[in-house]
Structure 1
Amino acid sequence: MTSVVDASWFYWALGVAIGLPIALVLLTEVRAALTRRGSALAKPVGLVRNYILPLGALLMLLVKATEVSAEATPVRIVSTVLGFVVLVLVLSGLNATLFQGAPEGSWRKRIPSIFLDVARFLVIAIGLAIIFSYIWGANVGGLFTALGITSIVLGLTLQNSVGQIISGLLLLFEQPFQIGDWVDTPSARGRVVEVNWRATHIDTGSGLQIIPNSVLAGASFANLSRPPGEHSISVITEFDQNDPPDDVCRLLVRVAGGLPQLRTGALPSSSVAGAGQYKTSIPVHSPADGGAARATFLRWVWYAARRAELNLDGVSDDFATPERLEKSLRVIAPTLRLSHTDQQELLPHARITRYGAEESLQVRGQVPTHMSFIVNGRVRLVAATEDGGLVPVRIVDEGDFIGSTALTREPVASSAFAVDEVTVLQVEREHMEQLVLGKPLLLQEIGRTIEERQQEVQRALAAAAE
């Protein structure tokens, strides 16, 4: 009688019984380590551990240990399932090693998804051909011949359509733009939201423009987002031709310099375009900021031109009427402890004006030359942190004032921005000095306000630091 140890199946069974658990434990640890590192190879290793090793062990037991014929149906079924899993492993491994970890800007990152889909289809077709040919003995040569002839016929029939698709695919491979870039094409201007193998989708702000890639490949267009951080917008404004050009240009540059969309470290510029027109160039971070920057600039210029007594669009300002000025003095009279006689004396030295929403009324560190009293609207006081951030301090309402350090000739500790449209009454420093000299209580109140607001700024900065 032959000993069990001498049997040919014994060593195969023993190898599977010992090797399979050890291999499973090792692959489990490897997969856990790859998962902790966030590696894309964790999935292929999981496929090997969960499917390929068990199926390979089962196939070895069937063929070597139990000596089942390789032509038997159970062996073929197991071999087919193993072949499918190996095919999935090849696809997953190629994707993880070549494309998922590809650095930005490399050719692997720029390959369009349609090319990857075609490559996956070819790998699947070749893998299935090998499986059916070697395991089931199928004749796949005739199938490939028929597919080749069919492809030639279809290519000749659809050569125009295929040519358009190929030109689109070449455009995708070159990638002159990416998702999120702003482009200016002959038919649309907007932000790229989707790019596929057939067309490019552009959000124009008023709808979605779908342009075939073959059209873009055969036309010239501008990528407004490249190089990044170099985009500027130009705004044309028109003033009365009697307005001094230098004063107008200084006004436009000052207004543009306060825009929240202005690119960090960049400076706007303004030049005379002729016939009373002025061209202002405003650097912004990206084309996405262009619309908001243009709208805010034009709105702020409307208010700034009237404060500077310049005639935007040839129209003069008729807001500061004597009646409105007297009404504004009555609003702030309780704050300044003004009698009717005081109001009449202050009337020739007061000036009423307006600011637009989010426009700056005073800048931190600036020494004001006048005090501004809120007649209508609200003003937000903000403090600046060391890293350039803004921290809200308080809201100044109707009847209150800003710029009180004009009397002490000290820089203001906070910046002031209009919450909505704000009407203010401004009194120059020398006239305020004459007023408070005869009102000691008013002078004490203004001094106390200066100290309170400095303390509020310190508390706001301390809270932001915490």
Structure 2
Amino acid sequence: MIAFWEQAWFWPSISVIVGLPLLLLLLTEVQSSLERRHNPMSKVVALLRNAVVPVIAILVLSVQVTDAVDPGRPVVSQVIATVLGFLLIVFVLNGLNILMFTNARKGTWREKIPSIFVDIARVILVAIGLAVVFRIVWGTDIGGIFTALGVGSFVIALALQTAVGPIVAGLFLLFEQPFRLGDWLDIGGTRGRVVEVNWRSVHVDTGEGILITPIGSLAGASFTNLSRTGGTFPVSTDVTFTTDDPPAAVVALLERVASGLPQLYTGTRPKAVPAGGAAYTVSFQVRGPSQEADALAQFRMWLWYAARRAGLGLDGDTTDDFVTDARRDEALAAIAATLYLSGDDSVALAPVVRLERYAAGEVIHRVGTVPDSVRFVLSGSVDLRVPFEDAELPATRVEAGDYVGQTALTREALLTTATALTEVSVLVIPATALDQIVRSTPALARDMGDVIDRRRAEVSAAVSAHVASQQNAVTAS
């Protein structure tokens, strides 16, 4: 009688009973380590641990049982082997996909291959792998299958040559990758951002809807990738003034307004040129096509306010209902107490003051400049910021009843940049006119000196708080 440890089933069974828990424990540790490093291979190891290895163990035990009970018909083992073959195909393909494409370095050929080609190759490999599995496990003649598939594919290709040709051309376009998701394209005069690319079409968001262009049509036509312009994107617009406006003043105004746009590409300068008659063209560079619409909208809004302040007739309109004698006198009456003005003083001051309005985001005073006038805020809010290293730190906010440009009296450079937070209306009083008032009103000189000292203290506090926060961040890290 043969001892049980000498039976054919003994050692394979012992290998499963002992080896399976140990192998699962090892794969669990490997998977946890990969997950902690956010490595995508952790999913492949999970497939190996949760599916492949257990099915191998089941197959080993099944073979022993079926061989002992019914050696002639191991159908159960064949089914398990087929499942194992499919799992091995998935395991190998997922591993290759991660090693070759998921972790591909930017700019390499692996990173440039469109996902559609990877998907097609995966389907083909799965089909070949399953054919091999059926040949090995079930003894199927796969030669006839491949022959039939080859002949059938040839016939289908001839029948669908016209329909499939554009699709193939589109697939080669995808392989070339002249654009990617997020790029801005100009297709036949229509501009938009690419939001989806598949094997059949390209979806472009034009801002007014989604333009769906067949990939084959795009492969046979010309288009412009607006996102590949070397880092800058040119923007230009035409504006008109009146023929009475001095061209030099108009050009200077256009370039000054455009130079303050937050979308302006760093290191570039706007350019404005007369286009004949009352027309002008202004051009500037932004950081990408996605900023074109916002830059133009902000430019046109700022230009309206700046043209009114400069007395130039944008779009041929020289009227300004905001600047009236009644509103000017009302503004003087509102600040009379601040300037210690009597009735006669206000009347004498009226001819030299003026009203101005600023749009939200416009700069009223820039840091480092010496103002030639003081601007009393009548409505709106003004943000005062101090530049420090590569940032602008908030110092304080000026509301209606306060003023900016207070160093006009001392002829000192400003320590902060004053920017309108909302639409702001101000009354502008020249420094020469304020000098005369200060000479006769010592209290006003003392008040303005206090404001200057307070603004300096606010700047110092903002810088100190920023430095302290940086030091705390360094200490915490």
1:463: how far off? Answer: 3.6
Deviation at 1:7, TM superposition (A): 4.0
Classify the secondary structure of the residue corresponding to 2:311. coil
After superposition, give the CA deviation of every residue in 1:308-352 in whole Å (9 maximum; x if it has no partner). Answer: 222323332444333332222112212212111110111122122
Cα distance in 1 for residues equivalent to 2:2 and 2:213? 79
Question: For 1:155 and 1:74, how far apart are their aligned partners in 2?
Answer: 40
Give 2:349's aligned residue: 346
CA distance in 2, matches of 1:322, 1:3: 119
**Aligned AA (1:342):** D
Pick closer, same or farther for the CA change 1:14–1:270 going to 2, 3 Å: same
2:100 pairs, out of 85, 98, 101, with 98
**Percent pairwise identity:** 45
| Counterpart selection for 1:334 from 316, 333, 337 | 337
Confirm or deny that 1:180 pairs with 2:182. Answer: yes
1:248, distance to aligned residue in structure 2 (A): 2.0
Deviation at 1:179, TM superposition (A): 1.0
Aligned to 1:79: 81
Paired residue for 2:272?
Answer: 270
Gap regions ≥5 residues in structure 1: none
Matched, 1:52 2:52: yes
Q: Which range moved further: 453-462 or 77-86?
A: 453-462
Matched, 1:230 2:253: no
Q: Which residue matches 2:474?
A: none
- 1:189-229 Cα distance to aligned partner (Å, 9 max, x none): 11111111111111111111111111111111111110342
Task: For 2:435 and 2:118, locate their aligned partners in 1 and report how far apart those are by CA, in whole Å.
Answer: 78
Contact 1:335 1:400 in 2 (8 A): no
Offset of 1:103 from its aligned partner?
1.5
| Partner secondary structure for residue 314 of structure 2 | coil
> Which residue in the other structure is 2:241 paired with?
239
Change (3 A) 1:36 1:378: closer
Who is 1:440 aligned against? 442
Partner of 2:291: 289
Match of 2:389 among 383, 386, 394: 386
CA distance, structure 2, for counterparts of residue 300 and residue 35 of structure 1:
52
Once the two structures are TM-superposed, the CA of residue 67 in structure 1 deviates from its matched residue by: 4.2
1:18 Cα offset (Å)? 4.0
Aligned residue for 1:193, secondary structure, equals strand
- How far is 1:59 from its partner? 2.5
Amino acid at match of 2:56: G
Deviation, structure 1 residue 448 = 0.9
Question: 1:452 aligns to what?
Answer: 454
Aligned to 1:423: 425
> 1:380 is aligned with what amino acid?
D
- Of 235-244 and 404-413, more deviation after overlay is shown by 235-244
Partner of 1:303: 305
Change (3 A) 1:12 1:423: closer
**Could you report, residue by residue, the CA deviation over 1:37-85 in whole angstroms, capped at 9, with x for unpaired residues?**
2222222222222322232233334436884448412211221221121
Q: Which residue of 2 aligns with 1:189?
A: 191
Q: Distance in 1 between matches of 2:47 and 2:57?
A: 14
Give distance in 2, aligned partners of 1:187 and 1:132.
54
2-structure distance, mates of 1:226, 1:450: 49
* 2:216 equivalent among 214, 237, 251: 214
Give the whole-Å Cα distance in 2 for the aligned partners of 1:406 and 1:382: 18
Match of 1:20 in 2: 20
For the pair 1:372 / 2:372, whether they are aligned, the reply is no
Whether 1:250 aligns to 2:252 is yes
Cα–Cα, structure 1 residues 438 and 397, in superposed 2: closer, same or farther, change >3 Å?
same
For residues 411 and 187 of structure 1, the distance between their equivalents in structure 2, rounded to whole angstroms, comes to 49
Give the SS at the match of 2:312.
Answer: coil
- 3-state SS in 2 of match to 1:201: strand
Q: Who is 1:321 aligned against? A: 324
Q: Could you tell me which of 397, 400, 406 is aligned with 2:399?
A: 397
Q: Is the 8 A contact 2:255 2:272 kept in 1?
A: yes
Partners in 2 of 1:443 and 1:187 — Cα distance?
62
| 8 Å contact from structure 1 (residues 371, 403) kept in 2 | yes
Verify the 8 A CA contact 1:63 1:70 in the aligned structure 2.
Answer: no
Aligned residue for 1:105, secondary structure, equals coil
> 1:314/1:6 Cα in 2 relative to 1: closer, same or farther (>3 Å)?
closer
- Structure 1 residue aligned with 2:133: 131
Separation in 2, partners of 1:54, 1:205? 53
Q: Which one-letter code corresponds to 1:398 in the other structure? A: A
Query: RMSD of the TM alignment (CA)?
Result: 2.2
Question: What one-letter code is carried by the residue in structure 1 that aligns with 2:50?
Answer: N
Q: Distance in 2 between matches of 1:228 and 1:32?
A: 43
Give the aligned partner of residue 362 of structure 1: 365
**Post-superposition offset of 1:167:** 1.2
**One-letter amino acid matched to 1:340:** G
Counterpart Cα distance in 1 of 2:41 and 2:285 = 44
Contact 1:300 1:356 survives alignment (8 Å): yes
Decide whether aligned partners of structure 1 residues 246 and 131 sit closer, same or farther in structure 2, where only a CA change above 3 A counts: same
Tell me the CA shift for residue 231 of structure 1. 0.7
CA shift, 1:378, in A, is 2.6
Q: Is the 8 A contact 1:374 1:397 kept in 2?
A: yes
Q: Deviations over 1:143-189 (max 9, x none)?
A: 43333333233222221110111111111111111111111110521
The alignment status of 1:39 with 2:39, answered yes or no, reads yes
Q: With structure 2 as the length reference, what TM-score do the two structures score? A: 0.91
8 Å CA contact retained: 1:13, 1:65? no
**1:382 and 1:414 in contact (8 A); partners too:** yes
* d(CA) in 2 for partners of 1:229, 1:87: 44
* Amino acid aligned to 2:350: L
Q: Distance in 2 between matches of 1:43 and 1:378?
A: 55
Tell me how far apart the structure 1 counterparts of residues 72 and 177 of structure 2 sit (CA, whole Å): 51
For the 8 Å contact 1:333–1:343, the answer to whether it is kept is yes
Q: Measured at CA, do residues 339 and 375 of structure 1 come closer, stay the same or move farther in structure 2, by a change above 3 Å?
A: same
* 1:366-418 C-alpha deviation (Å, 9 max, x unpaired): 21111011223332223333222x33333322222110111111222221122
**3-state SS in 2 of match to 1:135:** helix
Q: Is the 8 A contact 2:305 2:359 kept in 1?
A: yes
Structure 2 unaligned spans of 5+: 470-477
CA distance in 1, matches of 2:72, 2:121: 32
Give the aligned residue type for 1:387.
Answer: D
Instruction: Look up the match of 1:89.
Output: 91
SS at match of 2:262: coil
Aligned to 1:112: 114
CA contact under 8 A between 1:59 and 1:75: conserved in structure 2?
A: yes
Task: Give 2:153's aligned residue.
Answer: 151
